[in-house]
Amino acid sequence: MTKTVVAFGDPKAQKKWSGGLFIDITKKSYFDRKFIGTSDEYAIQRLTDLESEAGDTITYDLSVQLRNKPTYGDARLEGKEESLRFASDQLKIDQMRHGVSAGGKMSRKRTAHNMRQIGKNRLSDYWSKFNDQMVFIYLSGSRGINEDFIETVEWTGHAENPIEAPDNDHILYGGDANSKATIDATDIMSRSLIERAQVKARMMSAKDPKNANMMPIQINGEAHYVMVMSPYQEHDLRTNDAGGWLEIQKAAATAEGKANPIFKGGLGMINNTVLHSHEWAIRFKDYGADQNVQAGRALFMGRQAGVIAFGSAGGFRYTWTEETKDHGNEPVVASGVIAGVKKTRFNGRDYGVISVDTAAKDPNNAA
């Protein structure tokens, strides 16, 4: 049977390879695999608005619970119905593009199919990495000092969505510290700090019911939170509670709903808070009174900690284009996406995430 070969640059390749690129990006993305979904019950909600284009603003609803008293006995309910409350937030989406070139010599060594496959592999690596790094930056409210990020430390965000620092009600500090300046090298990640974060999240609504509360992720009827910390913070937690680490791991392994994606690859669980670590969690080097303490920011997340939104790009989430330069000598593959990321906010406060800042340094560096 004759095999159909689609020439490099043929428009018919767009649909196949743009779809394949999107699938690969989703599989490779850390947040996509575990925490992103289309409903407001996920830690990060994905909004897909195929009518929106670059530069548009997307409005979305935040989960707000009913609060009014019930009607008792035969008392009339009519006129007492509670209006559904829809707190809302907005984010903007805009275009981002990136491309790869095979160069002159490579064009004589690679077939069109190989060029596409290599391009798809590299671009899916690139976009999954960039998207994950954007989520870490936006939810943390800071670019940090992370050396391997694609964007520089001067980056101020994408699509005019501001990178917003956590408010005072949505940040905790390790040990006995109560601010960035009061953290010292001993104020590290601990079981006690994680339990404090969970208590804070659970009691927000009880103490301040008029403001939107931090809602947990429901799994098989059980309420869970998620914490993503840096490997340095993970190391401190392990070594600080070596005797209890097996208990932490066992709690996740035996939990109801352990097949849910938020458990996959997790470190363990403390009081229904599922623990994870990732090398792209935001790090700092200017904490403490003398601004010389290395620190990390863990993300303690409930529902709708953030949103990622996509617009239409020719009917596909990611575009795929092929062309040749230098009179046909240099094949180039490019992809683009119309998207935006934002930490959810309500009344000027963070909504579904608490930042947990601790001293956190490389255990292999004596300095």
Per-residue pLDDT of the chain (367 residues; tens, 9 = 90+): 445 555 666 666 777 788 889 899 999 999 999 999 999 899 999 987 655 665 688 887 776 666 666 766 666 666 666 555 567 788 888 889 888 776 655 544 556 558 788 888 999 999 999 999 999 999 999 999 999 999 999 999 999 999 999 999 999 999 999 999 999 999 999 999 999 999 999 998 788 877 667 899 999 889 999 999 999 999 999 998 877 899 999 999 988 788 898 999 999 999 999 999 999 999 999 999 999 999 999 999 999 999 999 886 556 788 888 887 776 677 788 888 989 999 999 888 999 999 999 999 999 986 5
Q: Please report the sign of the dihedral spanned by the C-alpha atoms of residue 36, residue 41, residue 44, residue 50.
A: positive
Q: Please report the sign of the dihedral spanned by the C-alpha atoms of residue 348, residue 353, residue 354, residue 360.
A: negative
pTM: 0.88
Q: How many residues does the chain have?
A: 367
Angle at 226 between CA 267 and CA 37, to 5 degrees: 115
Residues sharing a CB contact under 8 Å with residue 16, sequence separation 6 or more, in sequence order: none
State whether residue 2 is helix, strand or coil: coil
Scanning the structure block, which residue is given the tokens 């930042």?
355
